[in-house]
Structure 1
Amino acid sequence: MRAAIAMFALGVWAFQQLPTLPSVTWLAGGSVALTAAACAAVCLCRRSDARAGFLLVCLSAAMAGVLWAGWRAEWRLADELPMQFEGRDVALTGVIAGLPRRLDDGVRFVFQVEEAAVPVPRRLQLSWYGPRGTDVAPPVPRVGERWQLTVRLKRPHGFVNPHGFDYEAWLLMRGLRATGYVRAAADNRRLAEWAGGPLAAVHRARAAIGERFAAVLGDAPQAGIVTALVTGEQHAITPVQWEVFRRTGVTHLMVISGGHVSLVALLVGGLAALAWRRIPALALRLPARRAAALAGLLAAAGYALLAGMEIPVQRALIMLAVVALALLTGREAAASRVLALALLAVLVADPWVVLAAGFWLSFAAVGVIVLVLGGRLAIPSAWRAAVRVQLAITLALVPALLLLFQSFSLLSPLANALAIPLVSFVLTPLALAAALLPVDALLHLAAWFAGWLLVGLEWLASSPLTVWRQAAPPGWLVAAGAAAVGWLLLPRGTPARGAALLALVPLLGWSPPRPAPGGFVATVLDVGQGQAIHVQTAGRDLLLDAGPPYGPAADAGERVVLPYLLASGVGRLDRLVVSHGDSDHAGGAASVLAGIEVAALAGSLAPGHGLPERAGRALHACRAGEHWEWDGVRFEVLHPAADGARLRKENDNACVLRIAAAGGAVLVASDVERVAEQALLARAGEGLASHVIVAPHHGSRTSSTPALVAAVRPQAVVYSVGYRNAFGHPHADVWARWAAAGAQAWRTDSQGAIRVAVGVDGVSITAERERRPRYWHGR
């Protein structure tokens, strides 16, 4: 059974790697073939041909995993927004589902559609902002209310960068098949204060708990931690605190998942068993052990509802339900079998869960516990078992953490030794008690303990040796490291256990290949309507622009550029060039300067621009004629003018950079428009010729004049643009102009990050969406 479940999981995982969705005909044919294979497997097993039957069962299980994931994907993707209705005003009636999340400039919520003027998906993610240019806040809808809204929608779309977060997969997992925003319309109104079901009532109770906690604790920094441990609202925890938790390896304790749900089940189950045994009449009707299992499961289900039934909580509850069911039916199943059944139940309920990092980490952690504590002749003491389990989990998760996050905490065992008892046995029980009982003293006590926990974790996180960072290793190296860790955790006496540590050396020492001397790679990152370009030579790294802001509290530097650099093994930038001060180019620069070592800052910023002062750095001004060489690659500034004279438009003062090697050249024209292009042509002339150009001003019709096109004569043009951007970039005339010149078009909104590699053999260009396609992209 365990082997069949493992093959089913493999089939589900394999399906999620497909670049395109199989046709319904293929799925139907596969289902018929699966039925025939299952029948054949039964016949083989009955004829005592066990080996052939076992192999056929495993193959059938893998096929079943593929088909189950395929049918579920077909059903979910069929619930889509037709392309012709993107960007159009649509009138909807529906119910607010889940707790709305307050933003700095608005509110975001899930909307369950009941009626619509056009075909739209059943579940939408909507944002509601106040009137542009004012401080007026929008209405804050409450869960369970029925509203009539006018919205503009778009199909699921996110940035696609190397090793980046797949937002489209995240939306698919949650069944959110379109996103959009509420239009300022006179017919937006609340139709009913209550139109929800039982789950909406639970969400209202969660909202009430959060409001009470906020009222009692006020602006206390630990208030978000206490709230998150009860309601699962992780947004209450500040980004600075999340960074502390990440550096110390205790993030799992602040996200309600298996540990929290199991803790509640154990506490309630233990109390129920204690009380049950004291009432003989009850104990005779139902054994105390089964009563404890039932009580624990009910308590865990209640806690899961209170925590919002997010995907990690659902997964934990399913796993616990399998264990409780085994106890209730009197089946003494092996721990590995229970774990396998839980895996099957989770995958049947949600085949997309294999896309979540938490799925792999949680099952790996439970598997390590089973491996470390199971099958031992001697039972270790509680503290020895706890230490052994924590050290084993820390070691076992290293390969997965490097693959998923490119880092792991070196102080995780110490931090968890402090945090696990405090969070599990003090903070969480106190916070839950404060939620159930109107006693403010309980809440203040929980906050007091949370405050001391923060102090200890912040002290640990302040150490420069807290986190190991490196580039994302390849899959085969991660698999080898996981196998080595598994071998190391086997019981004493297993041959060559110590030698398994040597297999971790290549994993920890992994460094991705860099361009050969005389070549370079320029990666135009997918940052939306903006620009961020990473240029790498054999030994140097340059970042040209850092993308746009994504609201008052986030930007491309933090969300896209820094994670990309870390995953690429870049720990230091030799130069950051901010082409000009427009926010779509400079918006993420401060985050980059704060998050990575930058040797030199250059750019063409207007006098008084606040970036150098905020960063505490001197700015080297770009001037035409400046050039330098790294590893046989020439970098040349072609604009603005060497005398420092500034043109009227800020765009026309942007820094233009040409990167050239023996195999080809790339011209980055930033946001220059007609006036600057004329000056550029007069100054550089034939020196503008390049194999690839990043289109000036994202393909605006105010740039890419015929004269510039004729001077550059590129083989390819790259448009760094946002999906359905408000400016209509790239403009049709500009697109046609470059195409007529023979330049192949590449664009980040539809193809993801664009990688331009220049070597001795010439220029090669690849797009991330084409290199790593998934069936849900663009659906």
Structure 2
Amino acid sequence: MNEAFLRTGAIHFLTVSGFHVGVLGATVWMLLRFALRRGPRSAAICTAGVLVVYATIAEPNAPVFRATIMALLFCAARVTGRDFATHNWLPAAAIVLLLFDPQQLFRAGFQLSFLQVAVLVAFFPKLANWRPWRDAVEDPRARDVDTYAALAVKIVERWLWGLLLVSVLAWAGSWPLVVYHFERFAPWAPLQALLISPMVIATILLGFATVLLGPLPAAGELVGKALHATTDGLLWLVHVLGQLPGALLEAPAPPAAVVFLTYGLALTALYAASEARRARAGGGAKGRRAGWLLAATGATFAIPAAWFGAGAIREGAPADAMRLCVLDVGNGSATLIITEDQTMLVDAGTLGNFDAGETVRRALNALRAPDATRCVISHANFDHFSGVPTLVSAAGVRQVAVNPYFRDDDRTSPAAKLLDELRSHDAAIQTLKRGDRFAAGASTIDVLWPPATGAERLRANDSSLVLKISHPSGRVLLPGDLEREGIGLLLDACDANPDALRADVLIAPHHGDIEGDATADLLAAVDPTAIIVSTARDRSAFAELARDTLGKRVRVYSTRRCGAVVVEFTADRSMRISSPFARDDDGSVAADEANSRSPVNKTRSLRVP
């Protein structure tokens, strides 16, 4: 459901936001003024009381407090008989929030909430009574109607035009900032918001009515059924609109300088257009408004659109090259294999309280890599597949490979639920076993473990898929979460071919746990020059064991210290291992990191001929 609302640019409707405060305040105000025939002062006092209670019990966030403060100022103006000054209310709300929490200034919710309202305050009054399909000299406010039908048409037209303006202005004014914070852009958002907003308003109002009328059996049941029907209709509409072509585009976040330059140019264009309009004699209101609106829109879209277009172009690795990226997902595992023509994923899970699938998606954006269409899950542990549903439903994964013992015998297990999720999205499920081989660009991937049969009694960790990636420039071994018994069986199975386990890079088994002598035996059999540990824990004991077994030549990279670790296999038969925040495992900062002031340049690399 979250992904569906995200694809329609309506994710803010799922959280308590300023929109909910506005709907509640407007409803209470209209009920008091038009249904109960109360005066503006008493209606304002009652509305203010309701909003204060709601803001007290609602989720504490910047949009809620911003909308509540502005609504209270509206009520105060009504009570005192003062003129409205929305251009003053907005900065007043910002000052109050920043006095209590200055760090709000750097949060996406604060920035987007105030930016969107600022755009509406600046432009909506100028455009609310303008219609592009009418004569510019005609004042819509002065139009009289002769029939109730014409009055109804006029009201509906004004309401729809206002809703469309709000949707377009909020979207156009905030989309560069949205891309900066979330690396996503919904081009159909204004149209989708126009269709979704009435359903959302009805759902919110019915929700409030259900709370109020719940103690009354007949009324509560009736309103509850209406709320259920409206909610189902809203979810159906969101799902349909989310399937529009290009509903959600992704690209790397632009630098902050690009965002500042975008808004600076937009403001400059607006000022220049305003001055030109004042200096120009004659011309209709329609032409003047269209001119400065077009200038501002062009300035707002030009630079970020160029950046977004360039970032949306995905590139694989260079010809005959390969990149392997071990992502930092805390206590879990997620490894990207990027070749010239495809991206494959080995595991995507974590025990942390976040979505590993979202981490993979953002990594693909940052690397400008093609979407992963294939995922290999090493074994049936949640910390290796928790993010797969997100990737299947929203990121293009269409084929999932598992080991022969990844079963759904226990229908309540996470593995069974995952298989059900895969089937519901028509994802192809493939079984890999020892002896299988498949290609990935210039590389071949061999499955070394487990066998097709005979491992039923093993624990899930010990039946992990063990993959060996062989590229002309180097080899990588991914042993999953093998523990003592699984390591022993793997060594026995490869005993006849000593080179079967040899690799230049080893992804540490079971996140760097030491399984007695078995771990040292595996290290000696693989004999790597570099080891990557995917973990959120301190694995200094594993690093010591690796040095004791293999000597000081081995380098151990931990995602806990380094973040994501990237292994690049080039066409000139060299291998490069890098990470933006690498530290030596004894805790000392690497020399090139100590000499760098820019986090982007903090890199440790290793070249292996």
Q: Same fold (TM over 0.5)?
A: yes
| CA shift for structure 1 position 763 | 1.6
Aligned pairs for 1:213-224 (under 5 A) are none
Q: Does 1:721 align with 2:535?
A: yes
Aligned pairs for 1:691-706 (under 5 A) are 691-702=504-515, 705-706=519-520
Alignment partners' CA distance in 1, 2:126 and 2:582 = 46
Equivalent residue number for residue 439 of structure 1? 216
Equivalent residue number for residue 736 of structure 1? 544
Q: Does 1:469 align with 2:249?
A: yes
Deviations, residues 362-398 of structure 1 (Å, cap 9, x unaligned): 1122022023224679667643333222222233333
Q: Does 1:420 align with 2:197?
A: yes
Equivalent residue number for residue 602 of structure 1? 401
| CA shift for structure 1 position 310 | 4.8
Equivalent residue number for residue 358 of structure 1? 109
What amino acid sits opposite 2:13 in the alignment? Answer: L
Alignment partners' CA distance in 2, 1:379 and 1:319 = 26
| Secondary structure at 2:325 match in 1 | strand
Alignment partners' CA distance in 2, 1:430 and 1:643 = 56
Q: Does 1:402 align with 2:165?
A: no
Aligned pairs for 1:468-487 (under 5 A) are 468-475=248-255, 476-479=257-260
Question: Cα–Cα, structure 1 residues 459 and 376, in superposed 2: closer, same or farther, change >3 Å?
Answer: closer
| Secondary structure at 1:256 match in 2 | coil
Deviations, residues 525-581 of structure 1 (Å, cap 9, x unaligned): 33343322112223311111222577xxx9855564456556766664343222233
Deviations, residues 225-282 of structure 1 (Å, cap 9, x unaligned): xxxxxxxxxxxxxxx3x44433333333343222222343344456667899988xxx
Alignment partners' CA distance in 1, 2:129 and 2:401 = 65
What amino acid sits opposite 1:454 in the alignment? Answer: D
Determine which of 463, 471, 477 is the counterpart of 1:667. 477
What amino acid sits opposite 2:448 in the alignment? Answer: H
Equivalent residue number for residue 137 of structure 2? none
What amino acid sits opposite 2:384 in the alignment? Answer: H
Question: Cα–Cα, structure 1 residues 325 and 692, in superposed 2: closer, same or farther, change >3 Å?
Answer: farther
Alignment partners' CA distance in 2, 1:607 and 1:719 = 24
What amino acid sits opposite 2:401 in the alignment? Answer: A
Contact kept in structure 1, 2:342 and 2:440, CA below 8 Å: no
Determine which of 18, 22, 36 is the counterpart of 1:258. 18
| CA shift for structure 1 position 458 | 1.1
Aligned pairs for 1:624-773 (under 5 A) are 624=435, 626-630=437-441, 632=442, 634-637=443-446, 639-640=448-449, 646=455, 649-650=458-459, 651-661=461-471, 664-672=474-482, 673=484, 674-679=487-492, 682=495, 685-686=498-499, 688-702=501-515, 705-723=519-537, 730=539, 732=541, 734-740=542-548, 741-742=551-552, 743-749=554-560, 751-759=562-570, 762-766=575-579
Question: Cα–Cα, structure 1 residues 665 and 359, in superposed 2: closer, same or farther, change >3 Å?
Answer: farther
Aligned pairs for 1:453-468 (under 5 A) are 454-463=232-241, 464-465=243-244, 467-468=247-248
Contact kept in structure 1, 2:317 and 2:339, CA below 8 Å: yes
Q: Does 1:391 align with 2:168?
A: yes
Tell which deviates more after alignment, 514-523 or 361-370: 514-523
Equivalent residue number for residue 283 of structure 1? none
Alignment partners' CA distance in 1, 2:198 and 2:393 = 34
Contact kept in structure 1, 2:182 and 2:253, CA below 8 Å: no
| CA shift for structure 1 position 607 | 7.1
Q: Does 1:372 align with 2:181?
A: no
| Secondary structure at 1:526 match in 2 | coil
| CA shift for structure 1 position 647 | 8.4
Question: Cα–Cα, structure 1 residues 716 and 323, in superposed 2: closer, same or farther, change >3 Å?
Answer: farther
Contact kept in structure 2, 1:267 and 1:296, CA below 8 Å: no
Alignment partners' CA distance in 2, 1:755 and 1:474 = 22
| CA shift for structure 1 position 348 | 1.8
| CA shift for structure 1 position 450 | 5.4
Question: Cα–Cα, structure 1 residues 292 and 653, in superposed 2: closer, same or farther, change >3 Å?
Answer: closer
Equivalent residue number for residue 589 of structure 2? none
Tell which deviates more after alignment, 451-460 or 485-494: 485-494
Aligned pairs for 1:446-525 (under 5 A) are 447-449=225-227, 451-452=229-230, 454-463=232-241, 464-465=243-244, 467-475=247-255, 476-479=257-260, 491-494=289-292, 496=295, 499-500=298-299, 501-503=301-303, 505-509=305-309, 510-511=311-312, 514-525=316-327
Contact kept in structure 2, 1:529 and 1:722, CA below 8 Å: yes
Equivalent residue number for residue 422 of structure 2? 615
Alignment partners' CA distance in 1, 2:297 and 2:580 = 43
Alignment partners' CA distance in 1, 2:169 and 2:392 = 36
Deviations, residues 312-331 of structure 1 (Å, cap 9, x unaligned): 42343244445666777887
| Secondary structure at 1:492 match in 2 | helix
* TM-score when normalising by structure 2: 0.70
Deviations, residues 188-208 of structure 1 (Å, cap 9, x unaligned): xxxxxxxxxxxxxxxxxxxxx
Alignment partners' CA distance in 2, 1:277 and 1:711 = 86
| Secondary structure at 1:344 match in 2 | helix
Equivalent residue number for residue 249 of structure 1? 9
Contact kept in structure 2, 1:470 and 1:567, CA below 8 Å: no
Equivalent residue number for residue 96 of structure 1? none
What amino acid sits opposite 2:244 in the alignment? Answer: L
Q: CA RMSD in A?
A: 4.3
Question: Cα–Cα, structure 1 residues 559 and 605, in superposed 2: closer, same or farther, change >3 Å?
Answer: farther
| Secondary structure at 1:679 match in 2 | helix
Alignment partners' CA distance in 2, 1:568 and 1:574 = 16
Alignment partners' CA distance in 2, 1:596 and 1:625 = 26
Contact kept in structure 2, 1:668 and 1:693, CA below 8 Å: yes
Higher relative contact order (CA 8 A, sep 6+): 1
Equivalent residue number for residue 81 of structure 1? none
Question: Cα–Cα, structure 1 residues 269 and 768, in superposed 2: closer, same or farther, change >3 Å?
Answer: farther
Contact kept in structure 2, 1:312 and 1:358, CA below 8 Å: yes
Question: Cα–Cα, structure 1 residues 447 and 752, in superposed 2: closer, same or farther, change >3 Å?
Answer: farther
What amino acid sits opposite 2:233 in the alignment? Answer: V
Question: Cα–Cα, structure 1 residues 684 and 520, in superposed 2: closer, same or farther, change >3 Å?
Answer: farther
Alignment partners' CA distance in 1, 2:163 and 2:420 = 49
Deviations, residues 19-69 of structure 1 (Å, cap 9, x unaligned): xxxxxxxxxxxxxxxxxxxxxxxxxxxxxxxxxxxxxxxxxxxxxxxxxxx
| CA shift for structure 1 position 637 | 1.7
Contact kept in structure 2, 1:623 and 1:644, CA below 8 Å: no
| Secondary structure at 2:113 match in 1 | helix
What amino acid sits opposite 1:523 in the alignment? Answer: C
Contact kept in structure 2, 1:365 and 1:393, CA below 8 Å: yes
Deviations, residues 425-463 of structure 1 (Å, cap 9, x unaligned): x44444434434543415633651552353255145225
Deviations, residues 725-747 of structure 1 (Å, cap 9, x unaligned): xxxx8483x33111333333333
Aligned pairs for 1:501-580 (under 5 A) are 501-503=301-303, 505-509=305-309, 510-511=311-312, 514-548=316-350, 558=357, 560-561=359-360, 564-565=363-364, 572-580=371-379
| CA shift for structure 1 position 353 | 2.4
* TM-score when normalising by structure 1: 0.56
What amino acid sits opposite 1:705 in the alignment? Answer: T
Contact kept in structure 2, 1:623 and 1:638, CA below 8 Å: yes
Contact kept in structure 2, 1:523 and 1:533, CA below 8 Å: yes
Contact kept in structure 1, 2:315 and 2:370, CA below 8 Å: no
Give the fraction of aligned pairs with identical amino acids, expressed as a percent. Answer: 25
Alignment partners' CA distance in 1, 2:531 and 2:15 = 44
